[in-house]
Amino acid sequence: MKHRYAFFIISTLLILGLGAWAGADMNKVKEFRIERGMSEQARACIECHKAETPGLFADWANSRHASANIGCLDCHQAEAHDADVSEPHYKQYQRADNKWGKQEYRMPIAAAVTPKDCSRCHPDEVKQYAKSKHANTIEIMWKIDPWLNNGMNSDWERTAGCYYCHGTVLKKDKDGNLDASTWPNVGVGRANLDGSLGSCTSCHTRHRFSVAEARKPEACGQCHLGPDHPQIEIYTESKHGAITEANKHEYRWDSAPGTWTAGVDYRTPSCAGCHMSGSGAVIGTHDVTERLGWELQAPLTVRPQDFAPFPAQTSWQDEQEKMKTICVQCHARSWVDAHYVKTDNSVTEYNEVYFKPAKAMLDQLYEKGLLDKTRFFDEKLEVEFYELWHHEGRRARMGTAMMAPDYTWWHGFYECKHRFNNFMAEARHLIATNQKAEIFKDFPNANGDTTKPEVIFGPKQ
């Protein structure tokens, strides 16, 4: 008992002593010193944000930008006459409570940093991004989306939902602030006041702009999830995702761009590893729509150059070969080729067995006047047809392409069968009875603006 009691006393003293030692260090504030040359205005920005927004400052201080002496002004500085200059920010230089808020430090800045701003240092990445469906997604969705074109959701439902990922058309309010109906927003296709499209911080979250964060699946999973395009869930189910989850703590996520190497820095690829990062003879790209052989999100699966809303300017064979080259860094060529045979056959069956017959039936109902063309989604069969391709059909195709059998079958083709059978049975009943479909008279919030954005499509004709 004496020994045990003595051990307890010694252990307690050691813990208390270590706690006091740790507490002494915890009372110290980590310093940040500006040790490289920069203008007084640039220094004022940093010092002011250090006091006003310490979380933002800490992210920047731990970034590669900070290590390279790239400060707030390098990204945010604007010309006084620029359309995106923040007029309210000038008030920050009229403060008596902050020594950095003086007129001598006054500079025009833009609140929203855009790809055009990033292109000063990253020109190639911005050129690649500008060609992608990401950057041009506002144009694409207004060309094909019935929610927008038929005004079937409200403007605020769009702002808080659809536009969060796809992007808003930025504008200012009467006081010169970014309008709350369009900001904050980091959507991949955001239309910026300086004429550029997109937001680099969709993936490289500010203000650390970490390449490691952008390479991890969670970066893509912010938008690519849910019943209509569950890529993150599909990836998690796949062998790629399972191995990554088990071993991600060993991956070198922060390797320099152009050096991230399969089998060295990572064992299995993330989304970026397949769709963006360089590997083998294939160089990296910020056009995420490269390397695709099919448009798996489209109602009828087509080759990328045949996707009418935004046709690719490259050959699908060439792009698919790039993806295969990525695959063979870890897989045998015979394995890769056989996987694409499976994907091609699954796509063909979806097109021929499910989509085309359903589309033909939908067209017949419209021709006979049994469905009303005035608006979409206000009749049951319109919803059934939409979800056949937009939900189950996408899951079946994407699950196959990304090797997730549960999504391919149970969430995909199995659900396609039920949706297809219900759709066709009710459609045949309407034709047999010559009865018009019931219209949902109480469809809520179907009041969204149907005007296409002028900044994308030009003045209304």
- Of 172, 202, 232, which marks where a domain is finished? 202
Assess whether the previous peptide bond of 184 is cis (omega < 30° from 0). yes
Does the residue 100 lie in any domain? no
Does the residue 244 lie in any domain? no
Provide the pLDDT for residue 333.
Answer: 97
282 within 8 A of 299, measured Cβ to Cβ? no
Provide the pLDDT for residue 13.
Answer: 38
- Of 144, 177, 202, which marks where a domain is finished? 202
CATH code for the domain in which residue 383 is found: 1.20.850.10
Provide the pLDDT for residue 96.
Answer: 87
Does the residue 399 lie in any domain? yes
217 within 8 A of 273, measured Cβ to Cβ? no
- Of 163, 179, 202, which marks where a domain is finished? 202
Q: Which two tokens stand for residue 259?
A: 């050096």
Provide the pLDDT for residue 12.
Answer: 40
Does the residue 34 lie in any domain? no
Provide the pLDDT for residue 24.
Answer: 53
- Count: domains in the chain: 2
Q: What is the full DSSP assignment across 44-80?
A: HHHHHHHHH-HHHHHHHHTSHHHHTT--HHHHHB--T
Work out the angle between the directed axes of helices 333-349 and 394-401 (0-180°, nearest 10): 170
Does 426 lie in the same domain as 304? yes
Mean pLDDT by runs of 10 across the 461 residues of the chain is 42 43 61 82 95 95 94 95 94 91 95 97 97 97 96 97 97 94 97 97 96 97 97 97 97 94 96 95 95 97 97 96 97 98 98 98 98 96 98 98 98 98 98 97 96 93 49
Q: Which domain holds residue 369?
A: 289-447
Does the residue 232 lie in any domain? no
Does the residue 91 lie in any domain? no
Does the residue 367 lie in any domain? yes
Does 294 lie in the same domain as 195? no
Angle at 144 between CA 153 and CA 296, to 5 degrees: 115
Separation of CA 152 from chain center: 24
Does the residue 101 lie in any domain? no
The tokens 């920050």 sit on which residue? 92
Cα torsion 160, 163, 164, 167 to 10°: value is -150
pTM (2 d.p.): 0.90
- CB under 8 Å to 64, separation ≥6 — which residues? 209, 211
